[in-house]
């Protein structure tokens, strides 16, 4: 090990005027240079710029510095930048400490004198802390190129084919006895009337026959252990064999793509609609079956004269789900077209809350439906329509009573057949999947992405990706896009071959550990395992996010957070409480 020199360089950034406007950066640098072990202290306009970084690197070499303090913005912003500057100069990147004098100082204070004094204190804390830093080495682990895809719908197959075509082996688990998912239940798709079976059949054949894809039908995931790059998954076949007796197959994989899809809302939960009681109130999926068979008719075998389509069944309502299921509006318009073209004499009423025609070609599709004389009737989301049987004198089977918003009238709509546009719901077993793969769900049961805008297919668990309608309701194009995105993310990692793991993680000192296992349950990332033989806890460094919960929780003080040791934190506190003096230079207001 290199001999400790303890020569510190302090760099105070002006951040243009962001910092310098409130904090007297020169005075801070001046003060820093008086602190023990500080060899030099400088200010610069933009420390994060290339000249700024180069200045640090050159100083390290010329002045033989072995520790660096940068007083600038939040480490969230530029810690990586300055770490690379240290590496450039051949110094271990963990010999850096940042003092946040922007977000925590200049941006939140107005008093120049007090702000400058606070910046000095923060710099003092950083100088004290950096003296206690150890040189740490980040680890890298091999990436297993095999992938586990859960779910054999359009998302799962798309992701699997993308990965397999690139030469990686894919294990595809499907709970049903066939591939295709929910799309296999659909006839035509909106708004261009592509046939759903045509969209699927080619993909199913390719998936089944692909040499790089192993399809497990009637199967489910029962266990997932390990960490990114090196997972082990247990797959269990369920056909006819009781789950506990069936022998699970264990496969080694590097990444997981979860594409488990959705289930439809149970229409009988809405009592107003009489689903299950009135024979000619059907769900959208039941209508799909009729359309597939080519006959739209009532249970009595009559061609309906009046068909009513009711939107948002189970969606956009406080009682069931407040979210929008995104596909039903266009599907309803598709039904209106299909019913009308099958029976031109038929009148179609479309009972909706709002028409959500947001996608490509959707507005035109809506316009076409208007042209085809679909009667659009708007209801209030908190004031649901009521469906009941018509009287003997009426020329229709049922009447839908509703307060129509656009006319302000209380109306009744004649109907021989009512189609309920059932929304999407998270699958019943989604919490099981979430638990097995250690990802989170929102209040509606949808899997949570690690960033809703910038990381739509990643999760907080490294190596576990989500795509399609298990994340939130979406249509086929969006689902396919997400599946390909997840595949692309996984392929990028596979092509790297190895995966870097930050050296900042918790470590258990096995000599001190009593085996109480308190930390095992506290860890939010399931990163601590228990060695039954040694009766000691062990941190899986690849899974650890360095949150520090276990460090605080351990009653024996056996766990150390690397880079956040007690000595480092205490030294920092001590540094901050050092008395600082600052007299404003004359002429500066």
Which stretches of the chain bind another protein, using CB under 8 A?
Answer: 306, 347-349, 355, 367, 370-377, 399, 401, 404, 406-407, 409-414
Helix axes 75-88, 50-63, angle to 10 degrees: 50
In whole angstroms, how close is the CB of 368 to another protein at the nearest point?
10
Q: Which is nearer to another protein, 242 or 344 (CB)?
A: 344
**Cα angle: 77, vertex 78, 82; to 5 degrees:** 170
Q: Which is nearer to another protein, 399 or 424 (CB)?
A: 399
In whole angstroms, how close is the CB of 286 to another protein at the nearest point?
22
- Residue pair 136/507 in contact (Cβ under 8 Å)? The answer is no
In whole angstroms, how close is the CB of 290 to another protein at the nearest point?
20
Surface-to-core class of residue 284, CB atoms within 10 Å of its CB (0-12 exposed, 13-18 middle, 19+ buried) = buried
For residue 321, CA distances in Å to 75, 260, 423, 443, 479 come to: 40, 20, 9, 10, 21
Residue with tokens 């006895």: 177
**Cα angle: 523, vertex 524, 527; to 5 degrees:** 55
In whole angstroms, how close is the CB of 336 to another protein at the nearest point?
11
In whole angstroms, how close is the CB of 331 to another protein at the nearest point?
19
Q: Which is nearer to another protein, 212 or 370 (CB)?
A: 370
Q: Which is nearer to another protein, 390 or 481 (CB)?
A: 390
Residues 122 and 68: their CA atoms lie apart, in Å, by: 14
In whole angstroms, how close is the CB of 405 to another protein at the nearest point?
9
**Residue 191: is the preceding peptide bond cis (ω within 30°)?**
yes
Q: Which is nearer to another protein, 216 or 347 (CB)?
A: 347
In whole angstroms, how close is the CB of 375 to another protein at the nearest point?
5
Q: Which is nearer to another protein, 5 or 367 (CB)?
A: 367
In whole angstroms, how close is the CB of 413 to another protein at the nearest point?
5
In whole angstroms, how close is the CB of 341 to another protein at the nearest point?
16
- Of 178, 262, 295, 187, nearest in space to 473 by CA: 262
Q: Provide the sign of the torsion angle of the four alpha carbons 234, 547, 551, 96, taken in this order.
A: positive
What does the block give as tokens for 304? 């309906």
Residues 468 and 483: their CA atoms lie apart, in Å, by: 7
Q: Which is nearer to another protein, 404 or 444 (CB)?
A: 404
In whole angstroms, how close is the CB of 398 to another protein at the nearest point?
13
Q: Which is nearer to another protein, 183 or 348 (CB)?
A: 348
- In a 3-state reduction of DSSP, which class is residue 527? coil
Residues 23 and 327: their CA atoms lie apart, in Å, by: 54
Residues 339 and 342: their CA atoms lie apart, in Å, by: 5
In whole angstroms, how close is the CB of 282 to another protein at the nearest point?
19
The pairing of strands 410-415 and 506-508 is: unpaired
DSSP string, 88-156: HTT--GGGEEEEE-IIIIITT---HHHHHHHHHHHHHHHHHHHTT------EEEEPP--EEEE--SHHH
Q: Which is nearer to another protein, 216 or 306 (CB)?
A: 306
Q: Which is nearer to another protein, 320 or 376 (CB)?
A: 376
Q: Which is nearer to another protein, 179 or 355 (CB)?
A: 355
What does the block give as tokens for 258? 């979860």
Beta bridge partners of 217: none
In whole angstroms, how close is the CB of 189 to another protein at the nearest point?
24
Q: Which is nearer to another protein, 219 or 374 (CB)?
A: 374
Query: What spatial distance separates the first Cα and last Cα of the chain, rounded to whole Å?
Result: 50
In whole angstroms, how close is the CB of 417 to another protein at the nearest point?
13
Long-range Cβ contact pairs of 430-434 (< 8 A, separation 24 or more): 430/260, 430/470, 433/150, 433/221, 433/258, 433/260, 433/470
Residues 221 and 136: their CA atoms lie apart, in Å, by: 37
- Residue pair 278/386 in contact (Cβ under 8 Å)? The answer is no
Show Cβ contacts of residue 111 under 8 Å, excluding neighbours closer than 6 positions: none
Q: Which is nearer to another protein, 45 or 405 (CB)?
A: 405
């Amino acid at each position: 090990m290199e001999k400790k020199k303890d020569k510190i360089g302090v760099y105070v950034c002006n951040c243009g005027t962001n910092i310098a406007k409130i904090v007297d950066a020169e005075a801070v640098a001046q003060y820093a240079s008086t602190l023990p072990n500080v060899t030099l202290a400088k200010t610069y306009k933009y420390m994060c710029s290339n000249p700024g970084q180069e200045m640090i690197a050159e100083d390290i070499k010329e002045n033989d510095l072995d520790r660096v303090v940068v007083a600038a913005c939040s480490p969230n912003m530029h810690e990586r930048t300055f770490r690379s500057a240290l590496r450039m100069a051949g110094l271990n990147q963990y010999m850096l400490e940042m003092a946040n004098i922007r977000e925590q100082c200049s941006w939140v204070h107005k008093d120049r004198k007090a702000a400058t004094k606070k910046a000095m204190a923060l710099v003092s804390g950083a100088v004290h802390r950096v003296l206690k830093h150890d040189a740490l080495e980040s680890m890298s682990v091999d990436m297993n190129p095999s992938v586990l895809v859960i779910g054999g719908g359009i998302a799962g197959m798309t992701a699997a084919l993308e990965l397999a075509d690139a030469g990686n082996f894919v294990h595809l688990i499907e709970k049903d006895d066939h591939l295709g998912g929910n799309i296999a239940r659909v006839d035509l798709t909106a708004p261009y009337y592509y046939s759903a079976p045509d969209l699927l059949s080619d993909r199913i054949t390719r998936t089944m026959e692909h040499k790089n894809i192993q399809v497990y039908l009637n199967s489910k995931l029962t266990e997932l252990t390990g960490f990114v790059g090196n997972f082990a998954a247990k797959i269990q076949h369920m056909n006819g064999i009781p789950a506990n007796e069936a022998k699970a197959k264990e496969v080694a994989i590097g990444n997981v793509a979860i594409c488990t899809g959705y289930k439809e809302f149970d229409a009988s939960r809405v009592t107003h609609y009489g689903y299950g009681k009135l024979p000619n109130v059907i769900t959208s999926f039941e209508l799909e079956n009729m359309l597939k068979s080519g006959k739209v008719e009532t249970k009595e075998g009559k061609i309906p004269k009046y068909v009513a389509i009711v939107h948002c069944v189970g969606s956009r309502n406080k009682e069931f789900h407040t979210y929008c299921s995104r596909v039903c509006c266009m599907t309803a318009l598709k039904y209106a077209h299909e019913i009308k073209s099958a029976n031109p004499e038929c009148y179609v009423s479309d009972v909706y809350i709002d028409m959500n025609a947001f996608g490509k070609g959707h507005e035109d599709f809506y316009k076409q439906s208007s042209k085809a004389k679909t009667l659009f009737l708007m209801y209030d989301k908190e004031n649901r329509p009521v469906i009941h049987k018509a009287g003997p004198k009426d020329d229709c089977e049922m009447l839908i009573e509703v307060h129509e918003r656009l006319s302000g009238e209380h109306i009744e709509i004649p109907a021989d057949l009512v189609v309920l546009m059932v929304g999407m719901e998270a699958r019943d077993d989604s919490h099981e999947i979430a638990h097995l793969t250690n990802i989170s769900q929102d209040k509606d049961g949808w899997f949570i992405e690690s960033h809703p805008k910038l990381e739509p297919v990643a999760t907080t668990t490294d190596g576990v990706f989500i795509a399609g309608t298990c994340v939130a309701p979406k249509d086929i194009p969006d689902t396919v896009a997400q599946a390909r995105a997840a595949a692309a993310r996984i392929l990028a990692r596979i092509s790297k071959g190895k995966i870097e793991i930050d050296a900042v993680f918790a470590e258990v000192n096995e000599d001190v550990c009593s085996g109480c296992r308190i930390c095992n349950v506290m860890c939010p990332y399931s990163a601590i395992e228990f060695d039954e033989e040694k009766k000691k806890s062990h941190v899986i460094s690849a899974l650890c996010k360095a949150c520090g919960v276990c460090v605080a929780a351990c009653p024996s003080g056996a766990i150390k957070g690397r880079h956040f040791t007690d000595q480092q934190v205490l030294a920092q506190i001590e540094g901050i409480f050092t008395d600082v003096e600052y007299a404003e230079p004359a002429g500066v207001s």
